[in-house]
Structure formats: C-alpha cells, structure tokens
Structure 1
C-alpha cells in the first residue's frame, strides 16, 4: 500500500462511520417525512378521524363521556387537529398537482374541491334546517329552534337563505365548513408562495395573524356578530399545516428530536392542564396568580389565541415523537374505523352534525342521564364508522372498475394515497 493509500484509508473509514451514525440518528428521529406517491400517511387519517369523533361528542350536551375530549385537558381541542390536517393534506395533494400540472390545473382542481365543500355545506344547511324545524314543530317546542340558532330563519326565511348562501348565516355546529371553504379558496395563493419561499409564506401568515389581533380583523355574521372561527386568524394553523407538508416538518426533525423540546412540550401541556383544571374546580382558582390571569384571559377560540396554538404545537410534537410512521397498530382492525372516518372526513363531518342534533333531541325528550348519553355517543360513533366503511367499499369498487384516477384525483380527504 502506498503512503497516499495509508493516509486516505482512515479518512474513508471515518466518513463511513459518520454516515452510519447519521443513519442511526435519522432512524431515532421523529418520522415526519412526506409520504411517497401511492403511500398513505395513516397517522393523518387516524387523527382526523379522532377529531371527527371528538367534535361529535363535544356537540352533544355535556355528560360523563364529554370528559374524554381534549378541550377538558388543555387550551386547544379537536378543531385545531382538523384544520391543521386539512392544511397538510390539501398542500400535499394540490402541491404535487402544482408541480406536475402547473398553476392553472392545480387551481382548477382546488376550486373544484372548494365547490364540493360548498355544495355539501348548502345541503347540510338545508337538511339540518328541515330536521330542526320538524322536531320543533312536531313536539311543539320552539326552544329547539332557539338553541340551534335558526329563529332568524323562521322570521325572515328569504333574507336568511341568501345570507346562508353567502356563508354569513349558520345554525349551531355548522361553523367549520365555511372556514374550510375560505381556506381552500386561499390555497392557490398559499401554494404559489410556498413554491417560491416556504418560510417567507409562513412568516406572512404569522404577520396576518398578528395584524388580525392588533386591528381586530374579522368576517361579520348575520344577523349580528362575527364568524365563530375567524379565517384571518385560523389561516395560521392551515398555512402551518401546508408548510409542514411542503418540507417544513422535515426541516424541523432535529428540533423535534431534541430532549429539550420534548421537556418544554411536557411542561407546557402540564401547565395547560393545571390551568384548565381551575375552570372545573373553582376551589383551585385562588392558586392562579392574578397577573397571570389578567395576561391569559380571555383565551379566544374565535381568533385562535396563541395559547391554543402553542398547546396544539406541543401536542403535535409529543405525538410525532412517540408515534412513528411505521407504528404497527396503525394497521390494527381496532383503529380501522378511526382511519376510515379520517379518509372520508367531509361526509363523516356532515353526518356527525345530523347525529349530534338527533342525540341532543333524544337526551332532552327522554331526560336521559349518563347511561343514555353513553349509548347515544357510542351509537353515533358506530353509525359514522359504518358510513365510512360503506364509502370506502364504494371507492374500492370504483377503483376495481378502472376509475381510480377519478375517485382520488384532487381530493384532499385522500391525501397520501393515489392523488
């Protein structure tokens, strides 16, 4: 061996050792890379399905089972999960379409999806009104109309219908889809900016969020008030999801794998839980420092308070750390109902709104206690799971008939597979 070979050999060995070390570190790091074409990201489906179940339970009157939902243990709830995953999956599907087919085609597909959501919202509004009106009339109980927020429709149906078509009038529990429609309409601009400078795009989103809080920007609602979910504020969570899908999550791998980050997240989740505990146990409220209360409250859901956003980030960081992409239980039949619901989120959300009012009606008329609330909650979840299985069966039947491209193309519900 020559002198040059003797000198180069240790360097090559050292480089090989470094490469092996990097591979081992990458294996230990959170698996948050973008799924490849044709591969599903089942964690997204799982948690979107979980969010739909939690939203359904939260829409029922409070009872024992309601204590299992996220909003009782921290600042954020299932809505943050749903909007983040919607931004992630939409950017995944249509961002890929932007690269493959160009801006015009991608924009057309996005607008088509926004139109589908709008049509679903209109149908949901119409049938929901019919459901409430029928129950209120049949049982001669106008309180149902008042509780569900449709009294203005009964007084001025012509004006109210127009306002509903403009997304300014909505009964109770119908606030998520209008927000989703507005966010989807903004998606072409978001993706174009993401293609240019992803970090700058996220920075502009943060700036809009700050301006919203500073100058009180909002969408007005009919007959008075504002949207329950302010799009100017909630866009931050949607854009953050899109940013993660467009490579941001991969760039955060080192931060998320840091033990310091993990302990900060645990500390904030514990702090959030202790603060939330004072809402339900008044005796503990005197332990809260007055200055801290004055700084924190009110924690606005309408404008996506920064405490809610931070709580979601902490939950997401911990989840990604301890739930790897190849977690074997993701293919367990016990989690299959959740995943199927997540894969057909639009249909299941609409169904959940109907079922929540039906459950509300049964609990009110039968004066049911905890046992009836449990039965209604489980029955609603079973119905949503059965419907999701039916939608999935129909989709697979269509795929077998050679229409896979039509069934999955441009649908953000199917992000991570086939789109």
Structure 2
C-alpha cells in the first residue's frame, strides 16, 4: 500500500467532487470548485491519469520490453472496459427497478437510457461497442480509449520523445478546427467527451510528470508558473461566477477555439485547468500538515480510483432516485453526501484489505508476476519454501 501522496490525494479529491456533481440539483453541488472555475474534476482526473502512466513507465515497467509494456498496459485497459460494461448494466437495472417500484415509467428515459428499453438489441450492441453511453456514465468510455492508446504514448516517449506532444497537439487542433468527434449509435449524436481532444491533456499529464524535458522545465520554473497562474485562475473564477459563456453566433471561426466547450476541451478550459494545476501543485504537503485525516482519507480513495469511481457512479444514480422519491431538502442532501463519502471510503478500504490478504497469502509466492517470470530460479526457490514442511521452534 502506498503512503499518502499528492497524486492520490488530488485523484481522491476529483472522485469526491465528481460524485457530488453527478447529482443535479444537490445543494452541496454549488460548493464544488467548478462553480468558480472554467474547468472541473474531469480535466483533473484525465490529467492525473496521464501523470500516473508516466510514473508507471518510468518506475515499475521501465525495464520492460516493448511487447511486455503493451501487454501490461492493455490489461489495465481491458479491466477498465469491463468496469464500464458492469456499472452501465447495473445502472440500467436500477432505472428499471425504480420505474417498476414507484410506477414511474419516465425513469426509463433518464440519462439516455430509453434506447435500451425501446430498442434493446441495437442498444446493447452499442453498449458493448461504447457507442451508446448513459448520461453521467460517459467518462469511463473516454478513459477506456485513453488506456488503449496508452501503449502508443509510452512507446512514443521511449523511441521518439520529441514527437509525442506535437503529434498530440496536432490531433487536438484538428478536432477543434474541424469539429470531428466519435459518433454514437444507435441514438444519433456524438461522444460527450471527445477522445481526439481529451487525449491532449492526458499526454500533457504524461509529459509533465517526466524528470526531463517539459516536466523538468516546469519544476525549475514552478514559482514563476504559479504567479502566472494566479490572474488566469482569478479571471476564470469571475467568468464562472458571472455565468458567462461566449455565444456561438458572436465568435469567429473556428468557433470551438473560442467557446468554453467541454466536449472538445476548448482552450479556455484547458488553460484554466493547467493554471489550477500550477497554482496548487505542491500544496499537498501543507494540506497534510494541517488536515492529516482528510488528506489520508482522500489519498486512500485515489489509490483505489477505479473501484471507488464505479461505486461513486452507481451511488450518484441511487441517490438521484432517492431525491426523486423523498425530495431534495438540505438535510436529505447532507445525509446523501455523508453516506456517499463513507461508502466510497468503505469500498477503498475493502479493496486495500483484499490486497493485503492476497499479498500475505503463502500462495502469493507462486503468483505469476512479471518479475518472477523473468527469474525462474526465484520461482523454484519459492516453490521449495512453500512445499517443504516448516521447522517447529522448540519451547
């Protein structure tokens, strides 16, 4: 188990705010930072995903061959894909159950779910292909795509590091200028998070996490970048508080460059998210000193981000249904938030408890980890230790 650190802390913070923001109308939704920002936790979450990939590539799998590296990362991508299918099917079942229980057929239309019930054959094909996505369950499909391209990012950094960011920016600029996005099916439309655009902030996180290049430059000039970030963050807060958004009619072509569009990650959102990152980078040390318990708790959530995210997504839908049934008073909303935070913590703790049990098991010595594949003598030695009778100590 990792000790609390800055990446896990901010990832846990993002998970918590995503949970709250995924319940429209919740009283505490107005207290999250997206109300004073042009960006929100989605940008932070994807940026940290790229950062975590770089730490993995520079650390545990640094010595892997290209084939082993691809195998390791693609395994994680497939795991995220299965998680998306799993929570989506449970969400559909929750909507169906609530519709029957409360005699509310309109619940079947919530969050773009109507196609599943009206055209189940094609809709389920779309769910498997990720071309049909439920509302509030559409960030993991983006993450699946990013994880499937992660080996390309890692290999590009290994063999052509100077080309990675220019190529990524070129794809981002192409998406902004052309308006190209992945299409949904069977319901006509496009992805809420355009992977062609969002891969850029993912790659930025990957590059900035490195010990050399742009990452080294950012660390050397962190104080200067932090000062430059202050007016950008303040300007974004003023714009957000005024609820201002450029009119598509008023801005010139290409319009997406000047909009505050989340789907295409317009430059204003991207720049404001990077400014927030520059401003608060390194703040974890101070936060941990003055609030050790919350920092430890959020770090635990961040260490188990996939399990916690899946639980938070389903909890947000359950609590949306609860608010529909019981109303949205402040006391109810407070109970929802406290319950959600506790359950998310329980999921994270259980995940780590299972990990400790697995690590302490004697059979773990024979687990096919990459390091043991590369060292048959160690595997043989572990087998001998496991199967030989243990010597009893004399009283």
The answer to whether the 8 Å contact 1:97/1:105 transfers is no
RMSD: 2.7
**What secondary structure, in the 3-state scheme, does the structure 1 residue paired with 2:183 have?**
coil
The answer to whether the 8 Å contact 1:257/1:321 transfers is no
CA distance in 2 between partners of 1:199 and 1:327 (Å): 35
Number of aligned pairs?
Answer: 363
The answer to whether the 8 Å contact 2:9/2:284 transfers is no
The answer to whether the 8 Å contact 1:95/1:191 transfers is no
Which residue number corresponds to residue 210 of structure 2?
A: 246
Q: Say if 1:154 and 1:392 are closer, same or farther in 2 by CA, change over 3 A.
A: same
Q: Where does the alignment leave 5 or more consecutive residues of structure 1 unmatched?
A: 1-37, 280-284, 411-419
CA distance in 2 between partners of 1:212 and 1:269 (Å): 25
CA distance in 1 between partners of 2:324 and 2:259 (Å): 31
- What pairs up with 1:338-377 in 2 under 5 angstroms? 338-377=298-337
CA distance in 2 between partners of 1:343 and 1:49 (Å): 8
Alpha-carbon distance, 1:143 to partner:
2.3
Give the alignment partner of residue 269 of structure 2, picking from 300, 304, 308. 308
Report the TM-score when normalising by structure 1.
0.80
Which residue number corresponds to residue 278 of structure 2?
A: 317
Which residue number corresponds to residue 212 of structure 1?
A: 175
Structure with the greater relative contact order (CA < 8 A, sep ≥ 6): 1 or 2?
1
CA distance in 1 between partners of 2:330 and 2:106 (Å): 22
CA distance in 1 between partners of 2:319 and 2:346 (Å): 17
Give the alignment partner of residue 135 of structure 2, picking from 172, 175, 193. 172
CA distance in 2 between partners of 1:157 and 1:323 (Å): 47
Q: Say if 1:41 and 1:194 are closer, same or farther in 2 by CA, change over 3 A.
A: farther
Q: Say if 1:235 and 1:169 are closer, same or farther in 2 by CA, change over 3 A.
A: same
The answer to whether the 8 Å contact 2:259/2:268 transfers is no
The answer to whether the 8 Å contact 2:50/2:205 transfers is yes
Alpha-carbon distance, 1:262 to partner:
2.6
- What pairs up with 1:90-101 in 2 under 5 angstroms? 90-96=53-59, 98-101=61-64
Which residue number corresponds to residue 226 of structure 2?
A: 262
CA distance in 2 between partners of 1:357 and 1:322 (Å): 32
Give the alignment partner of residue 141 of structure 1, picking from 101, 104, 126. 104
CA distance in 1 between partners of 2:93 and 2:194 (Å): 27
Give the alignment partner of residue 11 of structure 2, picking from 33, 36, 48. 48
**What secondary structure, in the 3-state scheme, does the structure 1 residue paired with 2:190 have?**
coil
Alpha-carbon distance, 1:127 to partner:
1.1
Report the TM-score when normalising by structure 2.
0.85
The answer to whether the 8 Å contact 2:38/2:236 transfers is yes
CA distance in 1 between partners of 2:37 and 2:48 (Å): 19
Give the alignment partner of residue 120 of structure 1, picking from 83, 86, 89. 83
Q: Deviations over 1:162-202 (max 9, x none)?
A: 11100001111111111011111111111111123434311
**What secondary structure, in the 3-state scheme, does the structure 1 residue paired with 2:242 have?**
helix
